[in-house]
Amino acid sequence: MLSVVIPVFNEAESLEALWHELSEVAASEGYDLDVVFIDDGSTDGSWDTIGRLAEADRRVSGIRFRRNFGKAAALSAGFEQARGDLVMTLDADLQDDPREIPRFLAEMEKNLDVVSGWKKVRHDPWHKVLPSRVFNWMVSRLTGVWLHDHNCGMKCYRREVFEEVRLYGELHRFVPVLAAARGFRVGEIVINHRPREFGRSKYGVSRIIKGFLDLLTVKFLTGFGQRPQHLLGTIGIGSFLLGALGLIYLAALWIISRVEMFGMDPVHLQQRPAVLYSVGLMLLGSQLMSVGFLAELFIAYQAPDRRGYSIRERTPPGQ
C-alpha cells in the first residue's frame, strides 16, 4: 500500500483535481492507495471538499486541525494515520505532479529510505527561487546531506523513518537531514514542477529567517544532540583561554613597566579596555562550559525515549 500525505491550507480549488490525478496514477500503476488530507486551519471550505472526497471514496481520509499549526504538525498527524509501508508527501496546490510518483517508487527500490524531489526547472518568481537556492546550498554545506532542493514538498519515505524522526516547529524541510543523521539512506530525483494555477504562495521574508534558525537547530541536533558539551565546552574553553592569556599579558606588562631597569612608563590597567574584554571572555567561557555540563546532565538523567542509535535489521533468533 502506498500512502500519500497532503497538508492543506486554503487549497479548496485544487483538491478535487489533485485527487483525480492521484487516483488515475494509482489505477494505471496498480497501487493500493491511501490518501490522507490534513486541513491545517483552512478558512476557504477545504474541509468540506475533503469531506466529500472521503465520503465518495474509502481510500481518502481527512484530519482537521482546530487552527493553523504549521506544515510540520500537519505532516506528523498524517504520518500517524498513514497505513502504507511507503509514504509520499506532496503539496496540494497542483505544482507537484502526481505522475512522478512511479519514478519515486522506482528510486526507492535502489535500497534507499528517503527520496527527495528536485525542482530543477522552477515556475516560481525569482525572489523566491534565489533565496531558496542559497538556503539549499547552506543546508547541504553545513549538514553534509547534499540535496539540490531541501524545500521540495514532494518526497517519499519508508515508514520506519518516522518511527525515529520527530517533527516539530518547522523542521519538515529537514526530514532528509534528520533521517540521514540516523543512518537512513537518502537520494534525489529531478521532478516536473508545474506553474501555479490555484492559491497563493506561502513564501515570505520571515520564512528565510525562520529557515536559518531551524538550520542552526538541525545542525546542533544532528552534530551534537547527544554530546552538547563537545560544542559548548570547546567554544567555552577557547573563550576562557583567550581571556586568560589576555590577563596574563596585561599582568606581565604591568609588572615590567614598574621595573626601573626597563625604563618604561607605568602601565595603568584601569585605562586599558583590554582588561574588560579579557574578563568578559573568561566569564563567557565559564558560562558556556557550565551550560554544557547542565546539558550533559539533562541528557544523562532526562533522556528522551528515542534511542541514541538506529538499527536497520536484526539477525534471526537462535534456534
User: What is the bridge-based pairing of β-strands 114-118 and 186-190?
Assistant: parallel
Mean pLDDT of 255-280: 81
Closest C-alpha to 199, from 8, 4, 62, 6: 8
Count of Cβ atoms closer than 10 Å to residue 307 Cβ: 10
Please report the sign of the dihedral spanned by the C-alpha atoms of residue 147, residue 151, residue 157, residue 163: positive
Cell output for 186: 537518502
Q: Verify that 46 and 152 share a domain, yes or no.
A: yes
Phi, psi at residue 107, to the nearest 5°? -70, -35
Side chain identity, residue 173: R
pLDDT bin (cut points 50, 70, 90) of residue 105 is very high
Q: How far is CA 243 from CA 229, 239, 248, 263, 291, in A?
A: 20, 6, 9, 28, 18
The reply to whether 318 falls in a domain is no
The strands making up 114-118's β-sheet, listed across from edge to edge, are: 60-64, 33-39, 2-8, 86-89, 155-158, 114-118, 186-190
Mean pLDDT of 135-153: 88
Most confident of 52-66, 193-207, 290-304: 52-66
Question: What is the CATH number for 201?
Answer: 3.90.550.10
Q: How far is CA 258 from CA 66, 267, 268, in A?
A: 74, 8, 10
Confidence at residue 58, expressed as pLDDT on a 0 to 100 scale:
92
Cβ atoms of 13 and 46 within 8 Å: the answer is no
The reply to whether 283 falls in a domain is yes
Confidence at residue 108, expressed as pLDDT on a 0 to 100 scale:
94
Q: Verify that 7 and 154 share a domain, yes or no.
A: yes
Burial of 275 (0-12, 13-18, 19+ CB in 10 A): middle
Q: Verify that 215 and 180 share a domain, yes or no.
A: yes
Q: Verify that 14 and 130 share a domain, yes or no.
A: yes
pLDDT bin (cut points 50, 70, 90) of residue 319 is very low
The reply to whether 313 falls in a domain is no
Residue 237, CB-side half-sphere exposure with 13 Å CA sphere: 7
Cβ atoms of 151 and 132 within 8 Å: the answer is yes
| pTM metric for this prediction | 0.76
The residue among 27 and 166 whose pLDDT is bigger is 27
Domain termination site, one of 224, 250, 267: 224
- State the total domains in the chain: 2
Phi, psi at residue 174, to the nearest 5°? -110, 15
Q: Verify that 257 and 218 share a domain, yes or no.
A: no
Q: Verify that 88 and 174 share a domain, yes or no.
A: yes
Q: Verify that 99 and 183 share a domain, yes or no.
A: yes
User: Is the pLDDT confidence value at 137 over 50?
Assistant: yes
Mean pLDDT of 213-238: 82
Q: Verify that 77 and 106 share a domain, yes or no.
A: yes
Render 107-175 in DSSP notation, one character per residue.
HHTTT-SEEEEE-SS--S-HHHHHHHHHHHHHHHHHHS---S-TT-S-EEEEGGGGGT----TTGGGGH
Task: For residues 69 and 161, give the distance between their C-alpha atoms in angstroms, rounded to a whole number.
Answer: 22
Mean pLDDT of the residues in the chain: 85
Cell output for 302: 532526562
Task: For residues 193 and 117, give the distance between their C-alpha atoms in angstroms, rounded to a whole number.
Answer: 10
Q: Verify that 259 and 188 share a domain, yes or no.
A: no
Task: For residues 309 and 306, give the distance between their C-alpha atoms in angstroms, rounded to a whole number.
Answer: 8
pLDDT bin (cut points 50, 70, 90) of residue 143 is confident
Residue 7's beta-bridge partner residues? 38
Q: Which domain holds residue 293?
A: 228-301
pLDDT digits 0-9 by tens, 146-192: 999 888 889 999 999 988 888 776 778 889 998 998 899 999 999 99
Q: How far is CA 85 from the centre of its chain?
A: 22
The reply to whether 80 falls in a domain is yes
pLDDT bin (cut points 50, 70, 90) of residue 202 is low
Confidence at residue 253, expressed as pLDDT on a 0 to 100 scale:
86
Mean pLDDT of 216-220: 81
Confidence at residue 315, expressed as pLDDT on a 0 to 100 scale:
35
